[in-house]
Amino acid sequence: MRIENPPRKPFLARGSGVKRCPDCRLPAEVCICEWRTQVGARCHFWLLTHRYELYKPTNTGRLIDDCIAQTRIFEWSRTEPGQDLLDALNDPAYAPCLVFPAGDDYQHRMLDAEAVAEGDTRIPVFIILDGTWRQARRMFRHSRYLQHLPVVEPQTDRLTRYKLRRSKVDHHLCTAEVAIALLEQIGDEMAAGHLEGYFERFNANYIATRRRWAKREPE
C-alpha cells in the first residue's frame, strides 16, 4: 500500500506482536496475497484515511487499494492536507465527491452516485473517509478544503458483514463495503463482485485466526 502523504510516525496497532504478512497484514498462516489482483472500475476511489487507521491490520480500506485500479490513499489532516491531495482535488480531469450520509444542512450538496458516474465527462471519483464512524464525522465536518465538494450517500439495503470490530448499527458499513455498495449502485457489478470476494476472504480468514488464538489461551 502506497500512502501519498505518509504519517509522521507509525501507529502500532493492537496485536502488533503477531507474525503478519507485510503486504496483506493478516497473520502469516492465513495470508491472502495469492488472491490479490486488481481490476479496472468505472470510477476511481480516493481514501482519506485517519492516521489511527493507517497501520491497523483490521482496516479494510487497503482492500480497495488491493483490488481496484487507480485507487489512491491519502492521510487525513484537519488543517494541513498534503499537496498531493490538494492537487488531485483541483485536477480538471476528475469529478470528485465525498461519500457520506445525507444531512439537512448540506442537502444542497447531495448528488446521486449514478449522476456522478454518468453525467460528467470527467473521471468520477468517490472520496471515502476511512476511519471509525466518529472519526469520519469529524473529518467530514472539520475539513474546510472538502466543504465545496458534492456529497454522495450510498443507496443500499446491505447490512454489514464485517465482524472484526463492533458496531451498534448494522447499516454502518466498513470502508470496503461502502466501496462495494457504490460500485453496485453505478452498475459496475464485475468490480463490485471482485472486491466483495476479496473482502469475504479477508473477513473469514481473520476471524478464523482469532478463534484459534482464543483456544490457545489458558483457562
Burial track 104-136 (b if 16+ CB lie within 10 A, e otherwise): eeeeebebebeebbeeeeeebbbbbbbbeeebb
Which three cell numbers mark 17?
506482536
Say how far apart CA 63 and CA 205 lie, in whole Å: 14
Which three cell numbers mark 189?
457489478
pLDDT tens digits for the chain (219 residues)?
Answer: 566 655 555 545 445 567 889 899 888 889 999 999 999 999 999 999 999 988 888 899 999 999 999 999 999 999 999 999 999 999 999 999 999 999 999 999 999 988 888 877 899 999 999 998 899 999 999 999 999 999 999 888 876 655 545 544 445 788 999 999 999 999 999 999 999 999 999 988 888 776 555 444 443
Q: How far apart are the first and last CA of the chain?
A: 39
Query: Would you state the pLDDT for residue 17?
Result: 65
Say how far apart CA 71 and CA 64 lie, in whole Å: 7
Query: Would you state the pLDDT for residue 155?
Result: 87
**Residue 194 Cα to chain centre, angstroms:** 15
Contact 151, 109 (CB under 8 A): yes
Q: What is the DSSP letter of 159?
A: -
Contact 97, 116 (CB under 8 A): yes
Query: Would you state the pLDDT for residue 36?
Result: 94
The DSSP line for 50-111 is -TTTTT-TT--HHHHHHHBTT-EEEE--SS---HHHHHHHT-TTEEEEEE----GGGGGGEE
Owner of C-alpha cell 454489514: 160
Task: Specify the CATH number of the domain 39-156+165-208.
Answer: 3.40.1280
Query: Would you state the pLDDT for residue 16?
Result: 53
Contact 195, 174 (CB under 8 A): no
Rounded to two decimals, the pTM is: 0.85
Say how far apart CA 64 and CA 108 lie, in whole Å: 29
Which three cell numbers mark 28?
502469516
Query: Would you state the pLDDT for residue 212?
Result: 56
